[in-house]
């Protein structure tokens, strides 16, 4: 009995190690279009767990920093998926029309904004905070997971444009054909509202 309960709990709170093959998934955007991670094998993919009501996420969006990164790397062929795992009735969850307005308000420009309302994919990856970043290389392997940058402060601290941005460091190395110099950092932010 204990073994069965432990097994179910372990599967619910799965995670992935840097270097592992990325877990495949399919999620829909607010328009109902389905995206499969496996369709992007051969391209670098960023998974950004997001909740626009989280002050740590707001820090990156109000400064325009996250949108700048999205635009910069998408122009270079990187696929950028923003994923929301907030459960219905929880902070950060929006119904489709309200969500589309909020994405427009935030001026977010990911390749797609994906809905994980049952939290299955967030749990599969072990996403714990917003923001929480996972970067997958062209071979489908996880090469980075963790924080956006080295500034875990909402107020004070470094300007997001002046902090060491781990996304930029990893994607720049990957673009030059080098291994990621950073494999994992501690993600900071608001807990995901599963």
- Domain containing 83 — which CATH number? 3.40.30.10
**Average pLDDT across the chain, whole number:** 90
Residues in the chain: 194
Give the whole-angstrom CA distance, residue 128 versus residue 193: 9
CB 99 within 8 A of CB 30: yes
The closest alpha carbon to 49, from 78, 74, 84, belongs to 84
Phi/psi at 44 (5° precision): -75, 140
pLDDT confidence band for 116 (50 / 70 / 90)? very high
Q: Which domain holds residue 123?
A: 2-191
Domain count, the chain: 1
Q: Give me the residues paired with residue 191 across strands.
A: 129
- Calculate ∠ Cα 15-71-181, nearest 5°: 50
The closest alpha carbon to 125, from 143, 148, 145, belongs to 145
134: three-class secondary structure by DSSP: strand
| pLDDT tens profile 128-179 | 999 999 999 999 999 999 999 999 988 766 777 789 999 999 999 999 999 9
| Beta carbons within 10 angstroms of residue 18's beta carbon | 16
Q: Give the pLDDT of residue 11.
A: 41
| pLDDT tens profile 41-67 | 999 999 999 999 999 999 999 999 999
Q: Give the pLDDT of residue 14.
A: 52
Single pTM value for the model: 0.90
| Beta carbons within 10 angstroms of residue 119's beta carbon | 17
């Amino acid at each position: 009995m204990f073994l069965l309960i432990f097994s179910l709990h372990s599967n619910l709170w799965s995670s992935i190690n840097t270097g592992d093959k990325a877990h495949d998934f399919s999620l829909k955007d607010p328009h109902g279009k389905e995206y499969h991670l496996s369709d992007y094998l051969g391209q670098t993919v960023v998974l950004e767990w997001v909740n626009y009501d989280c002050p740590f996420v707001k820090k990156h969006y109000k400064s325009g920093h996250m949108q700048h990164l999205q635009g910069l790397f998408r122009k270079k062929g990187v696929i950028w998926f923003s994923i929301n795992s907030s459960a219905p009735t929880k902070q950060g969850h929006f119904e489709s029309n309200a969500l589309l307005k909020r994405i427009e308000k935030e001026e977010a420009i990911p390749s797609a904004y994906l809905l994980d309302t049952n939290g299955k994919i967030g749990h599969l990856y072990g996403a714990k905070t917003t923001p929480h970043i996972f970067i997958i290389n062209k071979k489908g392997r996880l090469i980075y997971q963790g924080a956006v940058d080295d500034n875990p402060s909402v107020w004070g601290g470094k300007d997001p444009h002046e902090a060491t941005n781990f996304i930029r460091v990893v994607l720049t190395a990957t673009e030059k054909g080098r291994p990621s110099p950073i494999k994992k950092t501690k993600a900071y932010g608001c807990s995901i509202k599963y």
